[in-house]
Amino acid sequence: MNSNSEEADGKNRYHFEIPKPLYAALQRIADLEGTRVFQLIRRAIKLFIICVEVEIKEPGAGLFLRRPGHPDEKIFLLEQQDHGRRHNDLRNLPL
């Protein structure tokens, strides 16, 4: 992923490669929703940030999806794993 300098409007531009199967899945969803792939990627990034913030701020937290009509089914997105690290904010995330 390559980053360009900050734009005049306070935004950064990134150029990165997406594997064709992943892009095809994103395009299919975008078509179904009447939107564009880059808008889906923005939504995914926002959701990721929410997930990571919950993981950091709430030790032992777990996020999961529950589908209507399937009350016993849980699809886990993440489970907090404490490796002896404490994070004060996103800048301290291990990469």
> pLDDT averaged over consecutive 10-residue blocks of the chain (95 residues)?
63 89 94 96 90 82 79 66 46 41
The tally of domains found in the chain comes to 1
Which residues is 2 bridged to in the sheet?
15
pLDDT at 6: 61
pLDDT at 85: 47
pLDDT at 20: 94
pLDDT at 2: 53
Q: Residue 58 domain-assigned?
A: yes
Q: Residue 38 domain-assigned?
A: yes
- pTM strictly above 0.75: no
List % helix, strand, coil for the chain (3-state, nearest 5).
40, 15, 45
pLDDT at 24: 94
> Residue 94: CB partners within 8 Å, gap ≥ 6?
85
Q: Residue 79 domain-assigned?
A: yes
Under a CB-based contact definition with an 8 Å cutoff, are residues 70 and 80 in contact? Answer: no
pLDDT at 14: 85
